[in-house]
Chain A
């Protein structure tokens, strides 16, 4: 087991820069998830750690050693691929032991390790089957087993659950978490699914356009996003962004959303944003769960307003409501019993204690 460090790592394909100088410190035993939209450079980063792609510039260190020019087989890593990449002509046991057999491990030890990994992953009964006789979930377990038996320094997962159906994905997600709790191997996991990232990671690395937007625990990313990209990427339904400006009315700071709607800022927020120039182009970032139905007694910092709903989506435990504010579509989450109906007027409340204020030009959260 080992820590992994990336220093100013750059990957260039001809004139396209896929990874633009990223720095990342992954500590021993940590479960790191790289997440971002397709083409953000997350898979390339993973493949560079694996040694499947050369790095154009910078340094990659595993366990303190620079591995820039070390071939994959000598990096002591194991990788799980999206399409499993099981050897179709070998049985499950042969698949799992292939790496060990190449390294001429004693037969008894190979058998012991395979048996142990199979037990851990609950695939003991499948050990003599060929990959084509297995279901998607079973294949993914075998692929993980192949990684576990080698007892590597680092596990690399490249979108391992993307080929599974939604139900199985949730199940396997839990399995992966359980396995990591048992083996505690440093893990780098790539996904485009922010739910997977949030549920699995000790820390999440959000990437965009070959750069790291933010690194943090799932809660940090959710509650304290650094940029508009992170704020919009993490969370489903996504955060609402509304153009707004600050104005001072009677010595108090107000947030003006439309000509009709302006809210006084809660004292803590007012103090935080007081220094901002009043003319600055700003955006209000507010998550759907902070726009709910209005009650009689509103907490401090929660402001109500009237609107007409465009569409409602009953989800069972909640109802998503969509409405427009000055032409911008906004999503809110209300109680299913709040009586939200398509096209009907409704009084909603916005919790400004959980708001974010963003610079519209730079996208930075202020």
Chain B
């Protein structure tokens, strides 16, 4: 009897998936769909830049298929990399970014440590204040900041406007609050017992920071560094406002200022310049990607 029942059931049985796996399949389909759309949106501009950078001015203005290079040329690259002006922009950008990252880390790491661990009067308010500062958009800040530096110039005779290093004072107003805020999150996720153990072992606050907190929160520190670097490398509004002389310009401002003459756009070189300018952050991301993701997720799950 029982054998017959099995025989009967065998062929007529349909393979049914559980609702879990059905849900999962659909979730995957949708996520791939949206990922594809997202990838297209974000990849089309750089691809278009690459295509345009390989064309001569004549081909760019010709009414041919804009998505194809008929006569590829590296002349745009050669001209830009051979021009002292462009290399100067690059150098200025590099100097500004490296200094800004250094200044930001020197301020925000100890600040975050103090706000996360040393409970002092007003520390919670201060921590919120730091975050609120970040919420003020730079488009609102640049006029008062410009005025401030003008006044400082008038009072002290120290002329900072139209010098590349004025940006070293300005960019940290963006990067310090944000980096402090995310470092507070990372430091707060470190168990309290770890610094208590260090204190009992005989470490000072400074030693606790340098020998325990910084190594343990290294992924977070790298994430903050990448953010500070990217923010200062890609900053456009402030350098446009604060620097005007060609030798003081950083990349984004330099490309726009020198490669657009009146209403003549040198598209080939603009695209090449932008593409080359995007390379350093890209290289840094590629090298530190694992740390960056580890840092982000560590903060997300433990915080």
B121 to chain A minimum Cβ distance, whole angstroms, is 15
- Nearest CB in chain B: distance from A185 CB, A: 15
Of listed A77, A81, A83, A150, residue having the most chain B CB within 10 A: A81
Cβ of A78 under 8 Å from chain B: yes
Mark interface residues in B204-245 (1 if CB within 8 Å of A CB, else 0). Answer: 000100011001101000000000000000000000000000
B-contacting residues, A82-116, CB 8 Å: 82-83, 85-89, 98-99, 102-103
Known contacts A52-B196, A79-B196; decide if A85 and B191 are in contact (CB<8 Å).
yes
Taking the complex as formed, is B193 at the interface, i.e. its CB lies under 8 A from any CB of chain A? yes
Tell me whether B196 and A73 are in contact (CB under 8 A).
no
CB atoms of B215 and A50 under 8 A apart: no
The reply to whether B203 and A89 form a contact with Cβ atoms under 8 Å apart is no
With a cutoff of 8 Å between Cβ atoms, the chain A residues found around residue B191 in the complex are 83, 85
Residues on the A chain within 8 Å of B207, using CB: 102
How many residues on A have C-beta within 8 angstroms of the other chain's C-beta atoms? 23
The verdict on B201 contacting chain A, using a C-beta distance below 8 Å, is yes
A72 touches B (CB below 8 Å): yes
Q: Tell me, rounded to whole Å, the shortest Cβ–Cβ distance linking A91 to chain B.
A: 13
Are A89 and B201 closer than 8 Å at their CB atoms? no
Find out whether the CB atom of A102 lies under 8 angstroms from the CB atom of B202: yes
A88/B216 in contact, CB under 8 A:
yes
Distance A256 CA – B195 CA, assembled complex (angstroms): 59
The answer to whether the Cβ of B78 comes within 8 Å of any Cβ in the partner chain is no
Which residues of the partner chain B approach A86 to less than 8 Å between Cβ atoms? Answer: 197
Question: Binary interface profile of B, 185-198, with partner A (CB < 8 Å = 1, else 0)?
Answer: 00000010110111
B200 close to A (CB within 8 Å): yes
Q: Which of A72, A78, A103 has the most chain B CB atoms inside 10 A of its CB?
A: A72
Interface membership of B199, Cβ < 8 A? yes
- Give the contacting residue for B196; candidates A81, A87, A146; CB below 8 A: A81
Neighbouring A residues of B200 by C-beta, 8 Å: 50-52, 72-73, 77-79, 99
Which of A82, A102, A103 counts the most chain B CB atoms within 10 A?
Answer: A102
- CA–CA, A97 to B199, complex, Å? 14
- Known contacts A81-B193, A83-B191, A85-B194, A52 near B216 by CB under 8 Å: no
Q: Which residue of B lies closest to A80 (CB)?
A: B197
Docked pose: A77 CA to B197 CA in angstroms:
11
Determine the residue in chain A with the shortest Cβ distance to B218: A89
- Closest CB in chain A relative to B245 CB, distance in Å: 47
Assuming A99-B201, A99-B202, A102-B203, is B216 touching A89 (CB within 8 A)? yes
Question: A89–B193 contact, CB under 8 A?
Answer: no
> Could you say which residues of chain B place their CB within 8 Å of the CB of A150?
201
Name the B residues within 8 Å of A89 (CB-CB). Answer: 215-216, 218
Secondary structure call for the B interface: helix
Residues of B within 8 A of A99 (CB): 200-202
Q: Taking CB as reference atom, which chain B residue is nearest A99? A: B201
Interchain CB contact (< 8 A) of A87 among B194, B199, B202, B218: B194
Instruction: List residues 42-56 of chain B with CB under 8 A from any CB of chain A.
Output: none
A103 and B193 contact, CB distance less than 8 A: no
Residues of B contacting A146 in the complex (Cβ-Cβ under 8 angstroms): 197, 201
Contact in complex: B216, A87 (CB < 8 Å): yes
Given A79-B197, A85-B194, A102-B207, A73:B216 Cβ within 8 A: no
Most chain A CB within 10 A, of B193, B215, B216, is at: B193
Q: How far is the CB of B285 from chain A (nearest CB, A)?
A: 24
Q: How far, in whole Å, are A88 and B218 apart by their CA atoms in the complex?
A: 12
When the two chains form the complex, which single residue of A51, A71, A85, A103 contacts B197, counting CB atoms closer than 8 Å? A85
Q: Which residues of B contact A103 (CB under 8 A)?
A: 202
Residue among A50, A78, A85, A86 with max Cβ neighbours from chain B (10 Å): A85
Contacts of A50 in B (CB 8 A): 196, 200
Bound: A146/B200 CA distance, A? 11
B212 and A87: CB pair below 8 A? yes
**CB nearest to A143 among chain B residues:** B197
CB distance from A51 to the nearest CB of B (A): 8
Kindly identify which residue among B193, B202, B211, B215 contacts A73, using a CB–CB cutoff of 8 Å: B202
A85 adjacent to B193 (CB under 8 Å): yes
Distance of B212 from chain A, by nearest CB (Å):
6
Chain B residues near A (Cβ < 8 Å): 191, 193-194, 196-203, 207, 211-212, 215-216, 218
Interface residues, chain A, with chain B CB atoms under 8 Å away: 50-52, 71-73, 77-79, 81-83, 85-89, 98-99, 102-103, 146, 150
Q: List 15 A-B contacts (CB under 8 A).
A: A73-B199, A73-B200, A73-B201, A73-B203, A79-B197, A81-B193, A81-B196, A83-B191, A85-B197, A87-B194, A87-B216, A89-B215, A89-B216, A98-B198, A102-B201
List the 3 shortest-distance A-B pairs measured between CB atoms, nearest first. Answer: A99-B201, A85-B193, A73-B202
Other than A79-B200, A81-B193, give 20 A-B pairs with Cβ distance below 8 A: A50-B196, A52-B196, A52-B200, A71-B199, A72-B196, A73-B202, A82-B193, A83-B191, A85-B193, A85-B194, A85-B196, A85-B197, A87-B216, A89-B215, A99-B201, A102-B201, A102-B203, A102-B207, A103-B202, A146-B201
